[in-house]
Amino acid sequence: MYCAEHGRAVVGSCQWCGKRICKLDIGKSLGKKVFCRQCSSDLGSYIQKRQMQQIREEKESQARKKQYSRIFDSY
C-alpha cells in the first residue's frame, strides 16, 4: 500500500480519521499511534491534553504498583 499523495509506503492509519498515511503525512505520533497532519493540527491541543493525561495515569499506576510492592514487602 502506497500513499496516493507522496507515493511512499504507508506506515499506518490516522487514529482520528482513519486515513492511511505515509511517513510524510505523520503530524503527530504517540507511541504506536499516529495522526495525520490535518488531524494533528486540528486536534493538537486535544492530543496534547490526552498525552498529559496518559502520562499522569502512567505515573499514578506506577505509584500504585510501588504501594502494592511496599505492602507485599512488609509481609
Q: Which positions lie near Zn ion, rule CB under 5 A?
A: 3, 5-6, 14, 16-17, 19, 22, 24-25, 36, 39
| Rg of the chain taking only CA atoms, in angstroms | 18
SS3 36: strand
Task: Let me know if 58 is exposed, middle or buried by CB neighbors in 10 A (0-12, 13-18, 19+).
Answer: exposed
Shorter beta-carbon distance to Zn ion: residue 18 or 67: 18
Shorter beta-carbon distance to Zn ion: residue 5 or 57: 5
User: Rounded to the nearest whole angstrom, what is the least distance from the CB of residue 28 to Zn ion in the complex?
Assistant: 10
User: Rounded to the nearest whole angstrom, what is the least distance from the CB of residue 38 to Zn ion in the complex?
Assistant: 5
